[in-house]
Amino acid sequence: MTLKGYEFAPVTKFTATGYLTTIPTCLADRPGVVMLRANSLVVQVIAKPGDDCQWSQTERKGYWTLVLPFDSEPTDLDFIRVVVYGDGAIQQPDGTYHKKKGGGFTRSSDTTAGRVIRAKLGVGKSEADCLIGECHLIPWQRVCIPFAGEYPGDRQWNIGAPQYVYQPSCGPHTSWDAIIDHVGEALKMPPELQVIGIRSGGDYLRAWFACILRDPACRLPYLFLFGDENCGKSILWEAFSLLVTGGVVKADRALNSDFNGEIDGAILCVIEEKDVSGMNTLPRIKDAVTGLTLAVRRMHTDVYHVTNYTHWIQTANNSGACRIPIGDTRFVAIHVKALTSEVPKPELLERLKAEGPAIMHTLLNMTLPEPQGRLALPVIATDAKAGIQEENLDPLAHKIVDFMSSRIAWEGSAKELRDAVGGAPGNIAGLKSAVSGFASYLRENRIIVKFPKRQVDRRYIIKLRRVA
């Protein structure tokens, strides 16, 4: 027979989809063909004049046809993968991949994958298209789980996720220590860190990197490093990039653009020599530092959410490149001093690579503190941070502190306060918004501001009080 399908020899009955189907007596001596069509199993046998058969003859002229329900599982081809990504019920298409002859997969298209299927299985174009369609019914999900295996389970494909470059091995790492201790010199450790062996700024930075390598989903303080040109700021993150196969990205665009696809899969995001002190970037930084998930949007795609594995370092020549608000609990600001000696960079990189196994051993085995809040390491206060906060402070905060220095209490309207101190918003909403940005600074200076919930004699009365 020339029909497409599987031929069978003369039989009197067969089992399909759990039903015992009897072949009519008049057809029992004839061969037939069985094929899959959508969710049906189609059986066809050549018809002859005078057949006493209840099967249909409208399906194909000259044949008796029986159509049975058949809900088969999609065919899972081990050399073709349809891949999606993202969360929720509606996921984003990543592409169709086929396995190369030498091993590994390459991204192609449904058309190319169809040709691969035809070449490997010897089927026609329509059968190949059906098989690709079945692959779309059981897609793989692309994920990025740093330092995990390629196949975590549940048809997840952890392709391209960062991995360790070096196997840890005990030994000296003097070049690494020179860089880390120099950058962290200005940090002074609190007693709770000193008791577990984190006694210096260098130890704190080693612990910071150790947290990334051991628990990439943990949240860490945002490191802002500033100092003169060529003082050793950038080599800190460049050195760390030698320890992992990927996941270290330049991410300044992610803070200033509607598109941030580069941070999907990142474990270390670097802002280098860029000014991100604008007010619009601060909420994004806060969310990236402490949020457990990230909203990611690539060009020409919808927003999707991923686990937040990012950790952030910013380097700049001046302290004004980063805005740190009063009362902050996310930023660690470090002023990096000038180098006293310098090693040629190519030579330094070779030393760092040679000491890679040793620093990995230290980072993977050092004692880390138990997290006491949302961050895995505490935020360390520095004179540099206090200075930046002072520079970023609204001048109105200083005016209110000076105004209250000779008073115990004051009350009046927003316009009256504007006339008294100068430069304040003349309406209650504007003043309330401005004061919210430096309320903690006022509290540090023992000044309490109370805003009214209702009018008194058709006026909103604001109360300032200096406490002992």
Spell out the domains of the chain, with CATH numbers in brackets.
2-69 (no CATH), 80-142 (no CATH), 174-388 (3.40.50.300), 393-466 (1.10.10)
Model pTM score = 0.78
Q: From CA 413, how far away is CA 126, in angstroms rounded?
A: 79
Write the DSSP string, 28-71.
TTS-EEEEEETTEEEEEEE--TT----SBSSSSTTEEEEEEE--
Distances (CA, A) of 129 to 75, 126, 347: 12, 5, 55
**Each residue's pLDDT tens digit, 350-391:** 999 999 999 999 999 999 999 888 999 999 999 999 999 888
The reported pLDDT for the residue numbered 394 is: 84
- How deeply is 11 buried, as exposed, middle or buried, from its count of CB atoms within 10 A (0-12, 13-18, 19+)? middle
Number of Cβ within a 10 Å radius of residue 271? 24
Rounded to whole angstroms, what are the CA distances from 202 to 62, 198, 206, 259? 86, 8, 6, 35
Contact 142, 330 (CB under 8 A): no
Higher pLDDT, 302 or 36: 302
- What is the percentage of the chain residues whose pLDDT exceeds 70? 93
**pLDDT at residue 18 above 60?**
no
DSSP element (H, E) containing 15: strand 13-16
How much is the mean pLDDT over the chain?
A: 89
Would you state the structure tokens that stand for residue 69, as one six-digit string? 């329900």
